[in-house]
């Protein structure tokens, strides 16, 4: 059964120059890390949003389009409508002791939710957070609050180590024992993480992002190699993702046309 909610915006926080975090007066206790909502802005449109926390319900949005612009304009006391939660969440192995989360850009949002749940279940988490520059970093304080260690990288070296997340990720995988790695962010980054984990015989999971219209596997706009990202994903094992011909190579636009990356 599809659940449709309309609730009051409780708090709006500025993460950086274009990302805001919206806290809603709703404890969506059934939400799991890695799942998403379809958020509706009347007269503007609907778009999928990762869940940053279930209780209270929290979402972070970058002002990059019409729907996201309307969301970043919300103020405490405004109403917001959404459907869900949808999708397959991250899965933590039974008896796991420590996990590695690797986030690029906005991909850190569901990974924070995962690390928070891990801490609540006495599972250690180490995070690698990557961004283009210091001004693009989000959720740094949140990750430090729930992770044992946090490593930061920026493409230009303005914060943390200069370069991508991969050097830090490989160093950690070589030097520490993790029960599973989780990645969310640019697809080429996730592909590199999946390949790295394969080389080291370590399980990993990645969260794919595709254009979504329905969130229920009906419209077919998010199909990748015969799988619907909204229902079969968005979380896939690294091996599942690496077996996809389009993973890291192509994406579809709003009309369903396939484009090479």
**Does 93 reside within a domain?**
no
Band (3; pLDDT cuts 50, 70, 90): confident
Confidence of residue 1 (pLDDT cuts 50, 70, 90): low
Residue 191 has pLDDT above 90, yes or no: yes
How far apart are alpha carbons 32 and 47 in whole angstroms?
19
Same domain assignment for residues 243 and 117: yes
Q: What is the CATH number of the domain that holds 200?
A: 3.40.50.80
**Does one domain contain both 73 and 147?**
no
**What is the extent of the structural domain holding 153?**
98-260
Overall number of domains in the chain: 2
Same domain, 111 and 161: yes
Domain co-membership, 72 together with 178: no
Residues 73 and 169 in one domain: no
53 and 156: one domain? no
Same domain, yes or no: 13 and 117: no
pLDDT at 254 over 80: no
Same domain for 80 and 103?
no
At 4-17, the pLDDT tens digits run 899 999 999 999 99
> Residue 211 has what pLDDT?
81
Range with the poorest average pLDDT among 137-151, 174-188, 197-211, 244-258: 244-258
Of the candidates 63, 86, 109, which is a domain's last residue? 86
Strands of 180-184's sheet in order across: 161-162, 149-154, 124-131, 98-104, 180-184, 204-207, 235-237
CATH number, domain of 71, equals 2.40.30.10
Mark whether 52 and 108 lie in a shared domain: no
Does pLDDT of 122 surpass 70? yes
Residue 204 maps to a domain: yes
Residues 135 and 214 in one domain: yes
Among candidate residues 31, 63, 86, the one where a domain is terminated: 86
pLDDT at 255 over 70: no
- Its sign, for the CA torsion 104, 107, 108, 114, is negative
Residue labelled with tokens 């990059």: 64
Give the residue from 61, 86, 111 where a domain finishes. 86
pLDDT over 70 (residue 233): yes
Average pLDDT, the chain: 94
Residues 114 and 81 in one domain: no
Q: Would you say 99 and 74 are in contact if contact means Cβ atoms under 8 Å apart?
A: no
């Amino acid at each position: 059964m599809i659940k449709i909610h309309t609730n009051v915006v409780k708090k709006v926080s500025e993460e950086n120059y274009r990302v805001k975090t919206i806290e809603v007066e709703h404890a969506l206790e059934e939400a799991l890390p890695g799942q998403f909502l379809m958020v509706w802005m009347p007269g503007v449109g609907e778009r999928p949003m990762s869940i940053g926390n279930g209780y209270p319900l929290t979402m972070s949005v970058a002002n990059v389009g019409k729907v996201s612009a309307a969301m970043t304009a919300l103020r405490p006391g405004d109403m917001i409508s959404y459907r869900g939660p949808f999708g397959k969440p991250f899965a933590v192995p039974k008896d796991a002791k420590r996990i590695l989360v690797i986030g690029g850009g906005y991909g850190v949002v569901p990974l924070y939710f995962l690390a928070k749940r891990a801490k609540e279940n006495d599972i250690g988490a180490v995070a690698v957070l990557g961004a283009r520059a210091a001004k693009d970093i989000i959720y740094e304080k949140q990750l430090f609050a729930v992770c044992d260690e946090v490593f930061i990288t920026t493409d230009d070296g303005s914060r943390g180590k200069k370069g991508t997340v991969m050097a830090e990720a490989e160093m950690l995988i070589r030097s520490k024992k993790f029960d599973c790695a989780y990645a969310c962010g640019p697809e080429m980054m996730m592909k590199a993480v999946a390949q790295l984990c394969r080389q080291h015989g370590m399980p990993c999971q990645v969260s794919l992002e595709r254009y979504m219209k329905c969130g229920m596997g009906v419209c077919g706009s998010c199909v990748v190699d015969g799988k619907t990202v909204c229902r079969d994903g968005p979380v896939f094992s690294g091996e599942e993702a690496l077996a996809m011909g389009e993973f890291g190579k192509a994406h579809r636009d709003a009309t369903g046309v396939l484009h090479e990356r």
